[in-house]
């Protein structure tokens, strides 16, 4: 299998990406069917406990197991785990905020401490269930969670009495009979319109599948490579007028929870006549130049979205490795090009050829 990946780390990141999709499908999406605030947090916590305890998943929660191995090993895998952990914490914090705003938790709830204690409960459950094989681990974890909520002022007095002898993911506290004021909660799910409304602060904001992606100003090397790529593509498209090459900032959106700003992209000849970003729906080529802060988004989150949108060709330019990863919509793995790029869009008389030595800086 390793020959499909340029590095072993790409395989490890791919496994984490697959686990992220599983977590979203089995835990996060079901929780979002419940009212915002404490009911949704209840379902999220109980769903994660059931997911970690399921015998369908060897070793339980992959993120907890992997963190134990990579917590003191610097590198892309550890960086990716940190980002996933922070995203999870942001999600949980948004639900705690909503519970406070809706009156289910006290206004003075110490949210950072609540998140810390909840994380401790989850780790304790993982080790009790997996390492110690404690048959009572699930019950104890939910009792600890109910106690945490009660100490923050939540209506949890009835939850312990209703826990059945055999715990399942449906073991939830009765929903509080209080109104929830959604407007005061921090969003855990972003839309394209929400991103457009964000103030200009020097960062690039994008959203894919409702996940907010924030990118700081790029490195100088990043900009130099983009300049060289654009200088090469421009004359080619003038001689083969199948489209127009453009660059960010941009506003490419295929649905309400997606807004991307590719580093470089080629729109087809018809959409090249557009006057508004909303009119651009078809891209012939997308190019992203990796930076330390964008590698995970470019290789996984945005790559999947470009494939779903049917972008015929997607280049991920890795300046550090001096190579380009080439993706097409049906690819499970990229084709690695270490020396030359070849692109022949439909309708062009001649293919575009580029020696990569001309875009990467000399050693």
CATH assignment of the domain containing 114: 1.10.357.10
In the chain, the largest separation of any two C-alpha atoms, in whole Å, equals 75
Pairwise CA distance, residues 362 & 44, whole Å:
50
Tell me whether strands 314-318 and 340-343 are parallel, antiparallel or unpaired.
Answer: unpaired
Give the residue, 179 or 289, on which the prediction is more confident.
289
* Cβ neighbours of 280 (radius 10 Å): 19
Average pLDDT over residues 15-28: 76
The per-residue pLDDT for 169 is 37
146 and 36: one domain? yes
Q: Is the Cα dihedral 115, 159, 56, 132 positive or negative?
A: positive
- CA dist 89 → 47, 83, 112, 154, 282 (Å): 16, 10, 9, 20, 35
Going by pLDDT thresholds of 50, 70 and 90, the confidence category of residue 68 is low
Is 105 within the bounds of a domain?
A: yes
164 and 269: one domain? no
270 and 334: one domain? yes
HSE-up of residue 189 (Cα within 13 Å, Cβ side): 11
Q: The domain spanning residue 307 has which CATH number?
A: 3.90.1570.10
- CA dist 72 → 17, 77, 81 (Å): 21, 11, 12
Give the residue, 315 or 27, on which the prediction is more confident.
315
Give the residue, 30 or 351, on which the prediction is more confident.
351
Q: SS3 for 46?
A: helix
Is 14 within the bounds of a domain?
A: yes
Is 328 within the bounds of a domain?
A: yes
13 and 155: one domain? yes
121 neighbors 41 (Cβ within 8 angstroms)? no
Last residue of a domain, one of 175, 204, 237: 175
Percent residues over pLDDT 70 in the chain: 79
68 and 141: one domain? yes
Pairwise CA distance, residues 179 & 359, whole Å:
58
Is 202 within the bounds of a domain?
A: no
Going by pLDDT thresholds of 50, 70 and 90, the confidence category of residue 130 is confident
As for how many domains the chain has, the answer is 2
Residue whose pair of structure tokens reads 């949108």 in the numeric block: 309
Tell me whether strands 335-337 and 323-327 are parallel, antiparallel or unpaired.
Answer: antiparallel
- CA dist 1 → 80, 112, 291 (Å): 21, 41, 26
Going by pLDDT thresholds of 50, 70 and 90, the confidence category of residue 81 is confident
149 and 231: one domain? no
47 and 143: one domain? yes
pLDDT at residue 159 tops 50: no
What are the pLDDT digits (tens) for 240-251?
999 999 999 999
DSSP for residue 35: P
What are the pLDDT digits (tens) for 179-224?
333 333 334 567 888 888 877 778 888 998 888 888 888 889 999 9
Pairwise CA distance, residues 3 & 127, whole Å:
35
Is 183 within the bounds of a domain?
A: no
156 neighbors 127 (Cβ within 8 angstroms)? no
270 and 140: one domain? no
Strand-pair partners of 283: 267
Is 203 within the bounds of a domain?
A: no
Pairwise CA distance, residues 356 & 340, whole Å:
5
Is 326 within the bounds of a domain?
A: yes
Report pTM: 0.53
Give the residue, 207 or 166, on which the prediction is more confident.
207
154 and 230: one domain? no
Is 47 within the bounds of a domain?
A: yes
The tokens for 64 are: 């907890």
pLDDT at residue 4 tops 80: no
The per-residue pLDDT for 180 is 31
Cβ contacts of 158 within 8 Å, gap of 6 or more: 173, 174
157 and 233: one domain? no
238 and 163: one domain? no
Give the residue, 70 or 293, on which the prediction is more confident.
293
Residues spanned by the domain of 227? 216-358
15 and 72: one domain? yes
99-108, 142-151, 165-174: which range is least confident on average?
165-174
């Amino acid at each position: 299998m390793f020959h499909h990946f340029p590095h072993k780390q790409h395989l490890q990141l791919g496994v984490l990406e697959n686990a992220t999709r599983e977590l979203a499908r089995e835990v996060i999406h079901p929780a979002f069917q419940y009212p915002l605030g404490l009911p949704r947090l209840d379902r999220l916590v109980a769903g994660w406990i059931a997911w970690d305890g399921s015998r369908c998943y060897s070793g339980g929660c992959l993120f907890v197991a992997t963190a134990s191995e990579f917590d003191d090993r610097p590198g892309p895998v550890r960086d990716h785990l940190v980002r996933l952990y922070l995203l999870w914490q942001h999600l949980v914090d948004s639900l705690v905020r909503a519970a406070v705003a809706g009156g289910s938790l006290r206004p003075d709830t110490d949210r950072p401490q609540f998140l810390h204690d909840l994380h401790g409960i989850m780790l304790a459950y993982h080790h009790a269930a997996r390492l110690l094989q404690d048959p009572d681990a699930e019950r104890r974890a939910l009792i600890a969670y109910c106690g945490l909520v009660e100490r923050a002022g939540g209506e949890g007095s009835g939850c312990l009495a209703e826990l059945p002898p055999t715990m399942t993911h449906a073991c939830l506290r009765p929903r509080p009979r209080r109104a929830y004021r959604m407007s005061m909660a921090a969003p855990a799910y972003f839309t394209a319109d929400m991103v457009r409304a964000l103030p200009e602060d020097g960062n690039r904001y994008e959203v894919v599948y409702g996940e907010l992606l924030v990118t700081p100003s790029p490195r100088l090397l990043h900009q130099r490579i983009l300049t060289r790529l654009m200088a090469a593509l421009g004359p080619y498209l003038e001689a083969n007028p199948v489209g127009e090459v453009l660059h960010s900032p941009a506003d490419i959106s295929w649905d309400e929870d997606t807004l991307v700003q590719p580093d470089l992209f080629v729109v087809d000849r018809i959409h090249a006549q557009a006057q508004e970003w909303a009119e651009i729906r078809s891209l012939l080529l997308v190019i992203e130049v990796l930076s330390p802060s964008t590698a995970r988004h470019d290789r996984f989150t945005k790559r999947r979205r470009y494939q779903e949108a049917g972008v015929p060709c997607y280049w991920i330019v890795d300046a550090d490795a001096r190579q380009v990863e080439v993706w097409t919509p049906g690819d499970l793995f990229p084709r690695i090009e270490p020396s030359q790029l070849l692109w022949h869009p439909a309708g062009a008389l001649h293919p575009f050829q580029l020696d990569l030595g001309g875009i990467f800086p000399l050693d």
